[in-house]
Structures are given as structure tokens and as C-alpha cells.
Amino acid sequence: MKRIIVLIAIFLSLQLHSNTSLNEISGIVTIGNSPIQNVSVRVLNSSKETFTDEKGKYLITAKPSDVLAFNYAGMQKVEIVVEDVTARLNIEMKMNIEALKEVVVGENNTRNQDYLRLQYGIDKSILSTAFGYLDAKSVGYSIKLVDGDNLSPGAIDVITALKGRAAGVYSLGGEIFIRGGGPQLQGRAIPAIYDLDGMVLKKLPFITVENIDRVAIISGLAGRVRYGSIARGGVVVINTIGSPLRPDSDTNKSFDRARLRNNIYNNDAIAEDRSKATSYLKDLYSSKEKAAAREVYQKYVTRYAKDPYFITDAYLFFHDTGDQVFANQILEDNLKVVESNPVYAKAMAFALDYAQEYAKSKELYKKIFVLRPEYLQSYRDMANSYYALGNYKNAANMYIRYQYLVNEGIFANDSSAIQKVIDGEMNNLFVVHGTRFMEESNIVGLKNYTKNKGETRLFFEWNDSEAEFDLEFVNPKKNNFIWEHSLENAAERIKDEKTLGYSSEEFFVDGSLPGKWQINVKYKGNKKLSPVYMKLTKITNYNTPAQKIDVSVFRLAMKNVKQKLTDFDNVVSLSAN
């Protein structure tokens, strides 16, 4: 207990320091390749503001967790959460096409509904209503969303489950009321109506809380716009787990989102070619012998001695060409270059995991943990580094330490992507290796744990939180599914990543469609000129004693070109966590 109290004290002091230190942030704002003058660059919730000059350049100071807002008439607003490492942000602004969308809304409504239907299974802000799919992020009024996972546990019905989960919502006489939701009828507030999986009801039938996937609260004013006068007291939208395009709740099997639409892969991905990425990589890959490659490294090391990406690239080259001794020497000679910055350290840690140098990568993850104690992924990464070394007890202790901080309110207990990752990996540890460090009686409840059992888990991580990209999954029938990670298409997701501290996503593949799968990436940049490193951990036969782990690392630098990352056999039906 004393150690945990000390840990919390250290955590709070480091967090306080990181949140009060100022970052000097600069960059260039452009449209395409043209700089823009007089773009407003403002720190939200403060009076601090500057404007870009005739070359599109700006300079401003902000502290970690501040939000920088870039505004220019006729352009889409860009908001960036500042982190401890934020120093350079080159922003490419895009035309605001909302007015154009309004002109063609009738023509494109069917297409937009198809898109929302496809995204429903992975985006909890999309609702299935009596009037079609509704994206809570893009409507012109406020909608309160409650994830089914966050409803009060043990509640006997929906009304009880919503208590304390949605501000301004209360119950009376078995009905739900929304404060400020609409007019009164003879001095009495008007109850809300219900939209249950597309059925509009005045009275809600009994539904078990466990079957609820998501709930949305719409006020009376907004409700009347969509539902008419019947909704003058507001609307409670309830989507259950049995709604369209959800994973099978009985079997816990994933579903293949590539087969949900008739998207066909065009064989337009090029192979990754690291040998042409930079001048030093060209020369290294042109070397015919080990000695010649070492000479090339010595030729460039003086010029790039302080470049962490040169160090990472060189390490990966010498590992891949079988000169692990020299690769380790490069790391030892240049450790200080990479370990002081969490973005640099994470890239090298990825390379070390790929090389199965787990003891060395653990030390880097420990450095990152000290630099970023408030990042949720810091705890996940430390636990995973112990796991890789076979130190399952220490891995379990790290998960328990994390859970203690959640219970103490230091970390939020929510349904974010990283929370689900941590919960799933902790269960995997106990299911697969629990008997190695615990009494069997203590894990008896996990023996029948079947979620994603036998599937293939694909876990992607990237070292730079500013990275924007599309991941494309192509199934054996050449249908594709694209997961978008960009400010243009996933701004709220990226904000969540920076707020909670994670840069990762997981997908699961089951065995319902045998054959070869392919994964491609289209890199869109990271608001600066440095490369991004992506780590893919593939685990086959997940949550079984036969599970097997394979790690790959990719260098992303070529923008707006679709590159093939990898392919693999015997895995199919895809879903995000």
C-alpha cells in the first residue's frame, strides 16, 4: 500500500509539472502547397492568439493538454491537442464544404446512410433511429450519449440504469423526463418518448440492461425537429446489442466489415521499399558485404549523430541483414539520443521488440513510463514488456496497479479503445498464463472465457500521435475495409487518444473465410517532416494455450501512396475492438 501511495504522489507531481510547462510551437499553415496569411492560431479557453504571416508561419506557446485552434474563413476549423513533445505543427487546411453538402443532400442521402450503416458497428456516436442512421457528431444540436458499458451495473431497468449517467435526466412514475427538454402540460413536465431500435414508443417495454449497446438523450426542441410534436418532451434513443451489423452477442465472434459493402480492392498498393527512403538507407542497402555496410554507417553517423530516426533506421537495417552485434552497438552508442523523448524512444522500442531484444525494449518502455505517467498506454506497454520477457507476475502486477489507479479515480473508468485493450490483454494474461503465477482456484472463472477465442488479433501501434493514415484490410475475396485515422475523418477519436494517452488500435479476425488477407496503409503525414514507425503485433489462436505472437515494424514516410504492409493466411472476419 505504501508503494502505491508513493506511486500516486509521484504520478501527480509529474503530471502537474507536465501540465504547467510551456511548449513553444511553430509551423506553417497551407492550402495544398500554398501558404495562408492571417490564419488565426488560438489557445482555446484563453486570450492567447496569433496569426500566420505572409509565408504562412506562426509561433505560439501552449502547455500540454491545451487545444490549439486554427481558423480561417471558408476553411474547416482544425483543433490539435498539445502534448509534452508538441513543437512543430504544419497544418494543411481544407475547404469547408458544408454549404455544398446542403445543396446536394437529397442526391447523396442514400449514400450517406449506407456509410453510416457501415460505420455503426465501430462508432458509438452513430445511432439507429426510426428515421435512419444519425451521426451525433455532425447534427446541429446537442445529443447526450451513454455507452451501454457505462450504464449502472446491477440496474433492473433502463430508467434505473440511466441514473447519474446523463445530466438533466430524471425519472418519475416509471417515465423519463429531460430537464429543459420542452414545455409543460397543465403545469406538469412532459415525459420523453422512446426510439427503440427504430420503433417509436410512448411506453418502454422491459429490456435487460445487459442488452443495451448505446443510449442517446435528445432534448424536446431538437426532438420535435426530427420526430414532430410527439417528442416535445424529448427522445430517449436506445439501440440494443441485437441491432444491425453488430458482432454476435451469443458467440462473441467478430464480423467481417469488408463483406458489409461491395468494395473491391484494386491491387493498387505498392510494396514497401525502405531502401529508397533516404540517402543513407540507399547506400546501406547498396552495400554488398557486412564490412561495407559498417563503413557506410560510419560515413553518415557524424552528420546524423543527433538524428533519432537515423539511429532507428540503422538499427533495423543491421538487424535485418544479420549483423545484430553491430545493431546493438549502434543502440549502446546512441542511447541518449532516443531515450529522452517519448516519441523517439517508442520508435526504438518498436525496433527492439521486432528484434526480440525484449530486455532492452523494457528499459525504454520504463523511460517512457517515467516521462508519461499520465498516459494509459504507458501502463499497458510496461505490462506487455514484462509479458514478452515471460515475467507474467510482474505483468499482472502492472495491470493491477493500473486498475487501482482507476478505482481511486486517478484514471477514468470508461469504454475507450485503450481501456478495452488493457482489459482484454489482462484477461489474456490470466487465461493463457495464469496457472504459472497463481493458484488454479483463483482463475477458475476465466477457464471458460471465450471472447475472441481462437481468432487472430491484429494490434497496431504508432510512435507519433500526430500520425494520420488509412489502414486497408483486404479479405480473400478481394473486398476491402478501410479504417480511417485522420483529423478530417476521425477528429474526436484522435482527441480521445491524446487526452487519455494512447496511439493504438486492435482488430480481430476469425476463421469463417479461409484464405490470404492483405493489409495496406496510406500514410497522410504527421504535421512535420519526420517519419512515423508503426508496429503490428499479430497473435494467432488468441486466448488459447496455442497462441503465437509475431511482431513487424514499418517505416511510414511517403505521403498519399498506398503501400502494402503485410499479408497472412488462415485468418478472416474483421472487427475493431
- The pLDDT tens digits of the residues spanning 378-406 come to 999 999 999 999 999 999 999 989 988 88
Quote the pLDDT of residue 11.
52
Cα torsion 365, 366, 370, 375: sign:
positive
> Minimal CA–CA distance to 415: which of 500, 358, 533?
500
pLDDT tops 70 at residue 571: no
pLDDT at 260 over 50: no
Q: Is 26 helix (H, G, I), strand (E, B) or coil?
A: strand
Q: What is the pLDDT of residue 447?
A: 53
> pLDDT value at position 325?
96
**How confident is the model at residue 118, as a pLDDT?**
75
Of the spans 200-214, 438-452, 480-494, which averages the highest pLDDT? 480-494
> If DSSP codes are grouped into helix, strand and coil, which group holds residue 312?
helix
What per-residue confidence (pLDDT) applies to 290? 94
Topology classification of domain 122-244: Ferric Hydroxamate Uptake Protein; Chain A, domain 1 (2.170.130)
pLDDT in tens, 153-211: 677 778 788 877 777 888 887 788 887 544 454 456 788 889 888 888 888 877 778 78
Per CATH, 122-244 and 248-262+452-577 having the same topology is answered no
112-143 confidence digits (pLDDT tens): 777 787 788 778 889 988 878 888 887 777 78
What are the start-end ranges of the E strands in 357-476? 456-462, 468-474
105 has a pLDDT exceeding 50: no
Among 348-352, 414-418, 528-532, the least confident range: 414-418
Look at residue 256 in the predicted model and tell me its pLDDT: 54
Residue whose C-alpha cell is 504508432: 462
CATH class of 20-98: mainly beta
- Whether the per-residue pLDDT at 6 is higher than 50: the answer is no
The predicted model gives 418-447 an average pLDDT of: 76
More confident residue, 153 or 478: 478
Give percent of the chain above pLDDT 70.
84
The mean per-residue pLDDT over the stretch 240-264 comes to: 51
Identify whether the C-beta of residue 348 lies closer than 8 Å to the C-beta of residue 365.
Answer: no
Q: Which pLDDT score is estimated for 100?
A: 37
Q: Check residues 567 and 139 and name the one with the higher pLDDT.
A: 567
- What backbone phi and psi angles, to 5 degrees, belong to 350? -60, -45
Angstrom distance (rounded) from CA 305 to CA 311 = 8
Residues in the chain, overall count: 577
Look at residue 106 and tell me whether its pLDDT is greater than 60. no
Q: Is the pLDDT reported for residue 574 higher than 60?
A: no
| pLDDT(338) > 90 | yes
Cell digits for 246? 453488430
Domain boundary assignment for the chain:
20-98, 122-244, 248-262+452-577
Residue 157 main-chain phi, psi, to 5 deg = -155, 175
Provide the CATH topology of domain 248-262+452-577.
Answer: Lipoxygenase-1 (2.60.60)
Average pLDDT of the segment spanning 529-538: 96
Mean pLDDT of the chain: 83
pLDDT surpasses 70 at 261: no
- Provide, rounded to the nearest whole percent, the portion of the chain with pLDDT above 90: 47
Query: Does residue 8 surpass a pLDDT of 90?
Result: no
**Grid cell locating 131:** 428515421
Residue of 20 and 388 predicted with greater confidence: 388
- Which H or E element spans position 535? strand 532-540
pLDDT band for position 488 (cuts 50, 70, 90): confident
Angle at the Cα of 315 (from 459 to 564), degrees rounded to 5?
Answer: 45
Say what the pLDDT of residue 576 is. 54
Please state the three-class secondary structure of 92-152 as a single string.
Answer: ECCECCHHHHHHCHHHHHHHHHHHHHHHCCCCCCEEEECCEEEECCCCCCCEEEEEHHHCC
H-run or E-run covering 430: helix 417-433
Q: What are the tens digits of pLDDT across the range 30-67?
A: 987 788 999 999 999 999 999 999 999 999 999 999 99
Per-residue model confidence (pLDDT) at position 188: 67
Query: What does the CA dihedral 445, 416, 25, 331 come to, rounded to 10 degrees?
Result: 30
Read off φ and ψ for residue 334, nearest 5 degrees.
-125, 20
Neighbours of 343 (CB within 10 A): 22
Least confident window among 306-315, 372-381, 445-454: 445-454
DSSP 66: -
Q: Note the pLDDT of residue 572.
A: 42
